[in-house]
Amino acid sequence: MKMSSAVLLAILVFGAECAADGPPSLSQLPVPKVSGYVESWFYSDSSDLSSQTSAKKVDNGFRVRRARLAASGEIGEGLAYKVGAGLDGPANGAASSTVRLLDAWMEYKANDALRAAIGQFKYEFTLEGAESTPDRLPVLRSEVTNELSGKLGTVGGTFRDIGIKVSGAVKKAKGLRYSAAVINGNGMNLTDNNGYKDIVGRITVEPLSGLVVGASGYKGRSGNEGDAFDVDESAWGVEAQYAVKGVKFRAEYVAARWENWGAATSAASLSKIQEPWGWYAQGSYRLPFFEKVEVLGRYEYFEKDSNTVDSGLEVTTVGATYYLKGKTRITANYLFREPGQSNIITAQETNATGAAISDLFLLQALISF
């Protein structure tokens, strides 16, 4: 009895001490960092939309292109996380907006040279593909980058998927940075539809001060488990960027190959092959006498499918950006577009195809926080 009483007394004392300490208060927990941006547009499309349905014939208007909201932070001992959502306004002729989960991952950082993340994340493929909208100077990505963004993993996912990723940086090794991921390869917010996993990675180095060069690669297989045939995917790219005070130059070349895929139908098709490729060169200059203004010029060429005659698209973009504060800005871009005759050619922000595609004007207002 005396022993039981002693044990009971010890338990009560221990419980009282725990109650006094209590669980961690909210003030003791790391406060998440809330970030995001809102991107609004005015657009004017000079393309021939006469063959489109009435909902898609509107050639100008205002649009909330994107809205992003994310919470991220660290929980000590090298653990970090991010949760982010995308709220995109409807495209011209579309019925509704899009709301979807973009990022949901946790990461362990062993040191600067080794990080490991698991969940849904943005994987790195090409320089442009790794950038977010506030980091990209032109309003639109290049056509070749946009094509692969909507295609890798077959269903696309803005270079996002579910899997595991390792990344890191070694400054002493010529500024080496790397990222490699094993992913489902079925796009974001989707479970895998087969037993194969896709592999994607990117590596960059800085051989000279201000000059960064890199390469990317993607290899995967898509299609439902049990289908008569699979779609094999592969893509690669090389990049270079040089920056000195007020001046930036960059160029990229990207190519891809889809086996058992029809370029004309945009669907799995036995023995068909689509091989898109493209490149762009871009330069920008921050005006020394008016540093809030940056001017831009970019030339790009995109081949929708090297196996299809006359399926190329040339785009020359000129523009200017006025920075209000940080990345918050107003940007005007005019795109001179010269398409080939093939009807498989598409372009961003128009419902026209092939030879009906023409110039585009975009005015972007972006607030970043």
Which residue ranges make up each domain of the chain? 31-48+62-368
Question: b/e per residue, 142-169, with b = 16+ CB within 10 A?
Answer: bbbbbbbbbbbbbebbbbbbbbebbbbb
pLDDT at 321: 98
Q: Is the pLDDT of residue 54 over 70?
A: yes
Q: Is the pLDDT of residue 223 over 60?
A: yes
Q: Is the pLDDT of residue 74 over 60?
A: yes
pLDDT at 28: 67
- Residues 21-46 have pLDDT tens digits of 555 555 567 899 999 999 999 999 99
| Structure token digits, residue 2 | 């005396």
Percent of the chain with pLDDT over 90: 83
Q: How confident is the model at residue 63 (pLDDT cuts 50, 70, 90)?
A: very high
In whole numbers, what is the pLDDT of the chain averaged over residues?
Answer: 92
pLDDT at 26: 54
**Local structure of 212: helix, strand or coil:** strand
pLDDT at 295: 98
Q: Which residue has the higher pLDDT, 365 or 152?
A: 365
pLDDT at 258: 95
pLDDT at 154: 67
Place of tokens 């919470």: 71
pTM of the shown model: 0.88
Q: How confident is the model at residue 77 (pLDDT cuts 50, 70, 90)?
A: confident
pLDDT at 236: 98
Q: Judge whether 121 and 164 are in contact, CB under 8 Å.
A: no
Length of the chain: 369
Q: Is the pLDDT of residue 9 over 50?
A: no
Q: Name the least confident of 60-64, 151-155, 192-196, 248-252.
A: 151-155
CATH topology of domain 31-48+62-368: Porin (2.40.160)
Q: Is the pLDDT of residue 95 over 80?
A: no
The alpha carbon torsion through 220, 223, 228, 230 (nearest 10 deg) reads -20
The alpha carbon torsion through 151, 349, 84, 40 (nearest 10 deg) reads 170
Query: What average pLDDT score do residues 255-274 get?
Result: 94
Q: Which residue has the higher pLDDT, 91 or 232?
A: 232
Residue 181 amino acid letter: A
Q: How confident is the model at residue 3 (pLDDT cuts 50, 70, 90)?
A: very low
